[in-house]
Structures are given as structure tokens and as C-alpha cells.
């Protein structure tokens, strides 16, 4: 790497961050586009968050990503927050614009971008979202904004599914929203076009588990599992056996990073697809 004084510094803060793929994605991106920037990852304890933000301002760090456990607490340190991040109540990207810190959330944007790159349209579709945590929130809200017909939230803890379904109805009255448990007893499975798994079921080390069984769905079903480690989850394995089209979480992971870069660099990346494919090729070496 060419180290000189012209580098803009970007970074990730979270705890833990040791296994994060963000430095690989973002530094690969800078290399591909020929930018003399650098992206680092810092382990930040909750008690140190305010001090770290202050130092970032003093050092003129141009932007940073925020991951667990700071996605909510970061908001009190920012000067303004995008509408999308406000609805989600969580920030994963901060831009330092002349000393003012602006918060965004690119999880939903990255998810939608990944669908666009896969040529999967969501308008007027019925989508079953598994999970009701942070990722399910971002993805459901982005799907509602994009004009899906119906969203069904299905979660182990029913009360959380209800809260998210009610939030969707409140913010997007044109979208029908329902909720159920992961047993899906009240769901008309044959009407579902897309399933998005936003639970952590199937992730390392529980790689032999699937959040739902796949009986009773239509033959044109698309299954998107946002888990990226392993690249092929049990749910995807079951789906492929049935001949369903599947997408894994690497695509969303890379696209939310590229969306952060567009915010930081303030340019639309005209080679988005080419750059995405190149980063995906690099990442696949790191993720089995
Ligand atoms: P989160 O806020 O902690 O939510 C976790 C969700 O998983 C909750 O709905 C939880 O249900 C459910 N869950 C956990 N263990 C379960 C089990 N044993 N059985 C059934 N449901 C279970 O986490 P998150 O941030 O939303 O992340 C969720 C997953 O998405 C993780 O695997 C994460 O790696 C992945 N992710 C991927 C990307 C990407 O870019 N590809 C981005 C963000 C997240 P309860 O409400 O009942 O606890």
C-alpha cells in the first residue's frame, strides 16, 4: 500500500470488530477505483464512544461505519440524521461534512441495490420476512418504500413481529402487513413471492439449522438469506433442492458498503456493477 500524506481516512467502529469484512471490502474498493484512501477498524467500548467521536472530529476523519453495539447510541453524537435512519432508529454510516456529523443507514439501500443487481423486482410482490431485529427492520422498511404489496413478519418472539408489522402499517398505509410465528400457521404460503431470512438461524456455528421448513410454497419462490457466513446456509440448501432461486448475504454486505462510499465520496459510481463483482470475487476467498 502506498502510504503518503494525501490519504483520507475512513473507518468502522464497533465491539467486537475483529472478524469484520468491512476493511477488506472498502480497501479493495479504494484500490479498484484508484483512490488514495484508507479504511481501518477500531474496537470501541461503549464508555469511550463520546471521546472517540470527538477525536474523529479533531483528526478530520471523513466518515465512518458504525456497528453493534453503537448503532443506536451514536445518534446522540450526530448533528443531523437522514429520514431513513430516523425511521429505523439506527445509524450505520456517518459522514463528516466540514465538521458536521450526518448519520445514515445503508442496510436497506444495500439490500435493494443487491436485488436490483440480481434483477429481482419487488413492486406489488408479497414478501415473507423472517426475523424482527435490526436487519429485518431495515429490510422491511426499504421493501415498503419500494412498493411491495404485502409484508409478513415472522419471528420467534411474536411480540417483536407485531411491533414491526404495526410500524410498517403506520408508516406505509398502502402496504398490507401481517405477522406470525416462524411456524407460519396463519400464512398463505402459496401466495408468497420472496422470502428474506433476517434471523441468525443458519449462521456459524448453527449451520445445520433452518428457520422454517419449505413445504407449501409456490414453485417460483425466491429465497434471499442475508447470512453470508456460511455462503450457502441450510435454508439455501433446502431451497436449491426444490429448484428455487437463491441469493446469499454477501451481496447485501458489499452493496451497503458501496452505498456508504457513495455518501462519503459524493459521487455516483457508474461502474457499480463491475466494482461490485470484483469485490465479491475478492471476498469469496475469505468466506467459505
Ligand atoms: P438481531 O437484531 O439480533 O436480530 C436477530 C433475529 O434473529 C431476531 O429476529 C431473533 O428473534 C432471531 N433469532 C435469533 N436466534 C434465533 C433462534 N435460535 N431461533 C429463531 N430466531 C432466532 O440481529 P440482526 O442485526 O438483525 O442480524 C440478523 C442476521 O442478519 C445475522 O445473521 C447477521 O449476520 C445478518 N446480517 C447480514 C447483513 C448483510 O449485510 N448481509 C447485514 C445485517 C445483518 P427474537 O426476536 O425471537 O430474538
Q: Angle at which helices 250-265 and 272-286 pack, to 10 degrees?
A: 130
In this structure, which residue's CA is closest to atom 2 in ligand 1?
133
| Residues 114/118/123/129 CA torsion (nearest 10 deg) | -60
Q: Is 155 annotated as a binding residue?
A: yes
Residue whose cell numbers read 441468525: 200
Give the single-character DSSP code of 113: H
Encode pLDDT of 116-127 as tens digits.
999 999 999 999
How far away, in angstroms, is 198 Cα from ligand 1 center?
A: 5
Question: To the nearest whole number, what is the mean pLDDT of the chain?
Answer: 95
CB 207 within 8 A of CB 235: no
Read off the DSSP letter of residue 182: T
CATH of 8-105+256-283, one of 3.30.1330.30, 2.70.170.10, 3.40.50.300, 3.40.50.10860: 3.40.50.10860
Compute the average pLDDT of residues 261-271: 91
For the beta carbon of residue 97, count every other beta carbon within 10 angstroms: 15
What mean pLDDT is predicted for residues 31-45?
A: 94
- Evaluate the CA torsion angle 145, 188, 238, 131 in order and state its sign: positive
Q: Are 226 and 111 in contact (CB under 8 A)?
A: yes
Give the residue, by CA position, lying nearest to ligand 1 atom 14.
200
pLDDT given for residue 247 in this prediction:
96
Rounded CA separation 113/272 (Å): 10
pLDDT recorded at residue 175: 98
The answer to whether 34 is a known ligand-binding residue is no
Predicted local confidence at residue 3, as pLDDT: 62
Q: pLDDT tens digits for 46-65?
A: 999 999 999 999 999 999 99
Q: Is 112 annotated as a binding residue?
A: no
Pocket of ligand 1, candidates 65, 200, 202: which has the most ligand atoms within 8 Å of its Cβ, to mutate?
200
Helix (H, G, I), strand (E, B) or coil at 207: coil
Q: One fold for both 8-105+256-283 and 109-248?
A: yes
| pLDDT tens digits, one per residue of 233-254 | 999 999 999 999 999 999 999 9
Name the CA dihedral angle for 97, 280, 240, 197, rounded to a multiple of 10 degrees: -20
User: CATH class for domain 109-248?
Assistant: alpha beta
pLDDT band (50, 70, 90) for residue 151: very high
Q: By the 8 A CB rule, do 84 and 115 touch?
A: no
Q: Binning pLDDT at 50, 70 and 90, where does residue 288 land?
A: confident
Other Cβ atoms within 10 Å of 266 Cβ, number: 9
Residue 5: pLDDT over 70: no
Verify whether ligand 1 is closer than 6 Å to residue 135 (CB atom). Answer: yes
Sign of CA dihedral 120, 126, 131, 132: positive
The pLDDT value recorded for residue 98 is 94
Ligand 1 closest atom vs CA 203? 32
Indicate whether residue 66 lines ligand 1 (CB < 6 A): no
Name the band, by pLDDT with cuts 50, 70 and 90, for residue 100.
very high
The mean per-residue pLDDT over the stretch 75-89 comes to 95
What spacing in Å lies between the alpha carbon of 239 and ligand 1's midpoint? Answer: 19
Name which residue sits closest to atom 41 of ligand 1, judged by CA. Answer: 249
The larger pLDDT score, comparing residue 272 to residue 178, is at 178
User: Among the options 62, 71, 150, 280, which is catalytic?
Assistant: 71
Rounded distance between C-alpha atoms, residue 72 and residue 233, angstroms? 29
For the chain, which residues make up each domain, given as ranges? 8-105+256-283, 109-248
Asked if residue 158 has pLDDT above 70, the reply is yes
Expressed in angstroms and rounded, the spacing between residue 234 Cα and the centre of ligand 1 is: 15
In this prediction, residues 227-231 reach a mean pLDDT of: 92
Residue 189 falls in the annotated catalytic set: no
Does residue 145 contact residue 173 with C-beta atoms inside 8 Å?
no
Q: Choose one of 21, 71, 135, 182 to mutate for the ligand 1 pocket test, by most ligand atoms within 8 angstroms of C-beta.
A: 135
CA 31 – CA 275 distance, rounded (Å): 10
Q: By the 8 A CB rule, do 91 and 63 touch?
A: no
120 CA distance to ligand 1 middle (Å): 23
Amino acid at each position: 500500500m502506498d502510504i503518503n500524506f494525501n490519504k483520507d481516512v475512513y473507518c468502522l467502529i464497533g465491539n467486537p470488530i475483529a472478524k469484520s469484512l468491512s476493511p477488506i471490502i472498502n480497501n479493495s474498493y479504494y484500490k479498484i477505483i484508484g483512490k488514495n484512501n484508507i479504511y481501518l477498524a477500531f474496537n470501541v467500548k461503549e464508555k469511550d464512544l463520546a471521546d472517540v467521536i470527538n477525536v474523529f472530529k479533531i483528526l478530520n476523519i471523513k466518515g465512518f461505519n458504525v456497528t453493534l453495539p453503537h448503532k443506536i447510541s451514536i445518534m446522540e453524537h450526530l448533528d443531523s440524521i437522514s429520514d431513513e435512519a430516523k425511521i429505523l432508529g439506527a445509524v450505520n454510516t456517518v459522514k463528516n461534512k466540514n465538521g458536521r456529523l450526518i448519520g445514515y443507514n445503508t442496510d436497506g439501500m444495500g439490500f435493494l441495490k443487491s436485488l436490483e443487481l440480481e434483477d429481482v423486482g419487488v413492486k406489488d410482490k408479497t414478501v415473507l420476512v423472517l426475523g424482527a431485529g435490526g436487519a429485518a427492520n431495515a429490510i422491511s422498511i426499504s421493501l415498503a418504500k419500494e412498493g411491495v404489496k404485502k409484508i409478513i413478519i415472522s419471528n420467534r418472539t411474536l411480540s417483536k413481529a407485531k411491533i414491526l408489522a404495526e410500524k410498517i402499517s403506520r408508516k406505509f398505509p398502502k402496504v398490507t402487513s401481517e405477522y406470525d410465528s416462524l411456524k407460519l400457521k396463519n400464512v398463505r404460503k402459496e401466495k408468497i413471492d420472496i422470502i428474506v431470512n433476517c434471523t441468525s438461524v443458519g449462521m456459524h456455528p448453527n449451520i445445520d439449522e433452518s428457520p422454517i421448513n419449505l413445504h407449501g410454497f409456490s414453485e417460483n419462490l425466491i429465497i434471499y438469506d442475508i447470512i453470508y457466513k456460511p455462503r450457502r446456509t441450510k435454508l439455501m440448501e433446502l431451497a436449491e433442492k426444490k429448484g428455487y432461486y437463491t441469493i446469499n448475504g454477501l451481496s447485501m454486505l458489499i452493496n451497503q458498503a458501496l452505498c456508504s462510499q457513495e455518501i462519503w465520496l459524493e459521487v455516483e459510481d457508474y461502474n457499480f456493477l463491475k466494482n461490485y463483482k470484483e469485490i465479491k470475487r475478492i471476498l469469496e476467498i475469505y468466506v467459505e
